[in-house]
C-alpha cells in the first residue's frame, strides 16, 4: 500500500516538474528585500491596482496589499502555487484587496492595472510586450525584475539585492516606439 502511494505521488511530482519545464518562466521566488524595492520603485500608491503576472506563491501580491495598501491581483498558471498564494492571502488578512487566480498571463486583461510586475524571462517579456503596450493606460508602470523589455527605454533602473537590475517603464505615447 505504502509503495503504491509512493509511486503515485512520485509520478505526480515528476509530471508536475516536467510540465513546469515547458513554461516560459520557471518558479523562482523574489526575495523580501527585492520585492519591496520593486514596489517602491514602481511608486505604488494606496488604492492603486498592482498586477503580478506569473505571481508564484503570491508574495508580491500580499506585500502590495499589506505594506502599500494597494489592490493586488496575481495571475499564476500553476494550480499548486495558486493554492499556496490564496492561503497566504488569508493568513495575511488581505483578502479584501488581494486575490490570485489561475490563468495564463498571455491571455490576462491588464487594462485596469496601474502597475504590472514581471519576474519572468526574456522570452516571456517579449511575448507580453505588445499586449502591455496595447492595454495599459498612459501613466501605468511596468516593473521587470532581472529581464529588460526589448527595445524599450526604462525610466528608472534600480538595483535588487545581489545587484540584479529592476527596470521601470512608464507607459506613454513613446512607449514601444523603438519596438514597433
Give the DSSP letter of residue 141: E
Report d(CA 113, CA 48) in Å as an integer. Answer: 8
Residue 4-43 contact track with ligand SAM, rule CB under 6 A, x = bound: -------------------xxx-xxxx-------------
Read off the C-alpha cell for 86: 490564496
Number of neighbours of residue 76 by Cβ within 10 angstroms: 27
6 vs 59, beta carbon nearer ligand SAM: 59
Binding flag, residue 52, ligand SAM (CB under 6 A): yes
Report d(CA 91, CA 102) in Å as an integer. Answer: 19
* CA-based R_g, the chain, Å: 17
Stretch near ligand SAM under the rule CB under 6 A, chosen from 4-12, 65-73, 74-82, 91-99? 74-82
Identified binder of ligand SAM from the candidate list 78, 132, 133, 149, rule CB under 6 A: 78
Sites of contact with ligand SAM (CB under 6 A):
23-25, 27-30, 52, 54-56, 59-60, 75-78, 81, 104-106, 119-120
Amino acid at each position: 500500500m505504502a509503495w503504491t502511494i509512493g509511486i503515485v505521488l512520485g509520478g505526480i511530482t515528476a509530471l508536475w516538474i516536467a510540465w513546469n519545464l515547458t513554461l516560459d518562466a520557471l518558479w523562482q521566488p523574489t526575495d523580501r528585500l527585492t520585492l519591496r524595492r520593486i514596489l517602491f520603485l514602481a511608486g505604488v500608491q494606496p488604492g492603486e491596482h498592482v498586477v503580478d503576472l506569473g505571481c508564484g506563491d503570491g508574495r508580491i501580491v500580499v506585500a502590495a496589499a499589506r505594506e502599500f495598501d494597494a489592490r493586488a491581483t496575481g495571475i499564476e498558471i500553476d494550480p499548486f502555487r495558486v493554492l499556496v498564494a490564496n492561503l497566504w492571502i488569508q493568513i495575511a488578512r488581505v483578502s479584501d484587496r488581494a486575490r490570485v487566480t489561475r490563468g495564463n498571463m498571455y491571455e490576462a486583461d491588464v487594462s485596469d492595472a496601474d502597475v504590472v510586475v514581471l519576474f519572468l524571462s526574456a522570452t516571456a517579456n517579449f511575448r507580453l510586450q505588445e499586449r502591455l503596450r496595447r492595454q495599459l493606460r498612459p501613466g501605468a508602470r511596468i516593473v521587470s525584475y532581472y529581464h529588460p523589455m526589448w527595445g524599450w527605454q526604462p525610466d528608472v533602473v534600480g538595483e535588487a539585492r545581489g545587484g540584479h537590475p529592476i527596470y521601470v517603464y512608464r507607459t506613454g505615447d513613446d512607449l514601444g516606439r523603438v519596438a514597433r
